[in-house]
Amino acid sequence: MDAQTCLEKLRYVGVLNFATVGLDGTPQVRCISAIHYTPDTLYFFTARGKEFCRELLRDGRVQILAFTRYKEMIRVSAKAVPVPRAEQKKYIDRIFAEQPYLSNVYPGDTRKIGVVFAAGDLQIEYFDLGVRPIFRACYTIGSGKRKLRGYRITDRCIRCGKCLRVCPQQCIQAGDPYHIQQAHCLHCGSCFENCPVQAVERRT
């Protein structure tokens, strides 16, 4: 798996879930398929009157989620900014050419109410619950930052082996200290809760 394969998989899924934080602080998520893909940027269309547009203009932070036919989750964190005014028409027309159904929704000139945002500098999380052990990985595109999540075992570890026994995925390796195989970790917190000496720390 790699960043480009993840983007290709998003393209195959087609209809993606775009989450933002609402103007009133509530979680917001909606389906979007009006997307044009390049190797480093997702361009997507919305209309200026939608709350989604106002949320993006205020903040720009968006998380994009897809679930593939192969039961993989792909999640992209990015900052979305409107494409420069002079290029709006070009990108709107490109997205409408790639997704003909859009011309039924916004016929003729009415597409002019649209605005195209660009999401580059991507952090991509890949998560597959369908393999055993489960598999996760994190990739970046551009200057996207890799946010550490989950847990780590510190030098306070007394090598009692409790964490290994309670791990649903058996993803902890004995050693000094014991070690979490991050690629196979659910982030469920079993090791964190059960360590008798609090040797397990959150990475976030």
Q: Which residues bind a second copy (CB under 8 A)?
A: 15, 17, 19-21, 23, 25-31, 47-51, 61-63, 65, 67, 73, 75, 77, 101, 104-107, 110-111, 113-114, 129-130, 132, 134, 149, 151, 166-169, 186-190, 192-193, 204
Which position has the token pair 């009133």? 24
Nearest distance in Å: CB 42, a second copy: 15
- Nearest approach, Cβ of 31 to a second copy (angstroms)? 5
CB of 5 to a second copy, least distance (A): 18
Are the C-beta atoms of 46 and 117 separated by less than 8 Å?
A: yes
Q: Give the residue with the Cβ less far from a second copy, 107 or 196.
A: 107
Q: Distance between CA atoms of 189 and 78, rounded to whole angstroms?
A: 27
Neighbours of 124 (CB within 10 A): 25
Both tokens assigned to 123: 């952090």
At closest approach, how far in Å is the CB of 25 from a second copy? 7
Q: What's the rounded Cα separation, in Å, for the pair 126 and 136?
A: 5
Residue 67 CB, shortest distance to a second copy, in Å, is 5
Q: Choose between 37 and 106: whose C-beta lies nearer to a second copy.
A: 106
Residue 69 or 176 having the CB closest to a second copy: 69
44 close to 110: Cβ distance less than 8 angstroms: no
b/e code 134-144 from CB counts within 10 Å (16+ = b): bbbebbebeeb
- The residue with tokens 């619950």 is 129
160 three-class SS: coil
Contact 86, 25 (CB under 8 A): no
Nearer to a second copy, 39 or 108 (CB): 108
Nearer to a second copy, 36 or 111 (CB): 111
Q: φ, ψ for residue 134 (rounded to 5)?
A: -60, 160
CB of 40 to a second copy, least distance (A): 21
CB closer to a second copy out of 37 and 67: 67
